[in-house]
Structure 1
Amino acid sequence: MSQHSIAGFAAAALSSLTPGQVDFLRTLPKAELHAHLNGSIPLPVLQDLSREYLQEHSSQNDARAEAVRAGIERLSQGVVLTEIHEFFGLFPAIYTLTSTPQSLAKAARGRLQYIEAVLDEVEKFSVEQAALIVSLDRRMTPAVASECVGCAIKLRDAGRRVVGVDLCGDVQAGNVADFEAHFRKAKAAGLGVTLHIAEIPETPADEIQQLLSYEPDRLGHATFLDETSKELVRNSSSCIEICLSSNLLCKTVDNLDVHHIRYYLRHDHPIAICTDDILPFRNSLLGEYALLMAAPPLGLGLSEKEIEKVARMGMGCRFPVKYQ
């Protein structure tokens, strides 16, 4: 079994291109700025972890074991999503399987140990190839969020390759106002800040304004910004992390004709093309760039020159590695 194969929108776009076009995209320098570790573990690794977990807990008939069985089965069959809220239901099994430093080290190849296990694998690559953004989940308590930011700062100051912090998680959970002090602390310490924002049309306007007041360097998705927020974002030059397949599969965008990427392309605003979670979305960064190049309706039909410009934007919006 291959470690990862693509399907769906990205695969259709990629298969429509000529060998020369694919080679152009493959060799184009590009940055992946929005890829969640727990959503990017190869399926064979998760299957191995699940077998080990279920063997260890064979005498127990608990809810977590059942969540693991159901989650891995669904991922193995290929996920079909009808709305974004179904996406978040995929992760209890993955979180259970990567809840120890030992299993995390295998997947990525107390929290401080968790982050250090990831960094041990990240730092096997060059500075140009990989760095870590520490995520704060919207369901975290203020105390846990504070501890995560503290770990990120501590490790960065110790010379580890931590470059920023993020806010992510279930879009209907938590109160984003509770995170203000933590993101301001991260910015003051020199870490980059990126925030998942406006992922669903029901996102309250005051939540969007609250998040923008933290002066983030980048924004994840930003699918449903109102006109006032769009103007604020354009004036701030915050990079928009665009996840085309994710939006299409989670049904937050109907099709590429109405995708918000077109707004930012028209206004020459910084964007970065990203995968989000390659496991459930069955995509790749090459496939996402194929969606830029493929002729409509499979893609946006951008020229090589336009795609090169988008790729440069993404490269230019990377959070710098300050210590090595």
Structure 2
Amino acid sequence: MSDLGWLEVVLRAVAVLAGFLVLPLLVGQTEHKVMAHMQGRLGPMYAGGFHGWAQLVADGVKFVQKEDVVPARADRWAFRLAPGVALVPCLIALALIPLSPNVVGAKVDASVLLVLAVIGVGIIGTLMAGWASANKYSLLGAMRAAAQLVSYELPMVLVVASVALAAGTLSLIGITQAWTPWWLLWQLPGAVVFFVAGLAELQRTPFDMPVADSEIVFGPYTEYTGLRFAFFLLAEYAGIVVMSLLFAVLFLGGWSGPWSGTLGWLWTLLKALVVAVVVIWFRVSWPRLREDQLQRLAWVWLVPIALLQLAVTAVGVVMMR
């Protein structure tokens, strides 16, 4: 590979890493502010003065100061590695999602398949944390997280298959280039299924049973403190970024918009920001479901709707040909 080729690879890697470090923190800051306004919380609005701009900094200092505790009976290697295993898949997925045809960390032909595979790996970090903590509440939370993955991965994959079938490609860039505004109607049921399944994959309200504090303390993360706990929070916000960007690319046309040739990357980010705000709004507004309600929603409603969407898309593609 030439020097110019190596330079491009390094620049892409640095850009992806910078986005990985910045975008989740922006989502975290947005969550602080949205929840503060919607629930009348005063604390997040004071740190640093104007509109509480330093709240995220204060949180970071708090996590750094906390002692890193490892339970005496924990599986120490698995306990310590779990936050990294939960975090790295989000970094890989972020590198595969295009902001525009030319702004993408890694161009892969079947990128949508690779993104789905990588997202599914993140649950291993949660399972490692629950098992290695030697805590019954942590283990229960990990088992709940695994059950959610099994239930909601299927409708998500079916919906993505529907979009890929409509576009005639497994490339995220190709899917966005094939997108037309009428997809908002044609793929609307699939978009709803994808959003709900994404919330469950992220273990966000109303699907936060694995970390239900009133039932199992804080699930897989009960024994974590300091920076290791902060890494799990970062993985959660990074997951929101990945899901929001993926939703924007699959269903909202990604970089489609005025002056897309130069500002396409900005349109993708703005659409993803709107989706992320809706995710935060769900946390503020919806109560937690019971475990049986979660399973019923997945198998009785989402899977049939996803299968119907896939069938409708297949018939539409055949008719258009």
Report if TM-score (shorter chain) is over 0.5: no
Larger radius of gyration: 2
Output the TM-score relative to the length of structure 2: 0.27
Name the one with the larger strand percent.
1
Name the one with the larger helix percent.
2
Output the TM-score relative to the length of structure 1: 0.27
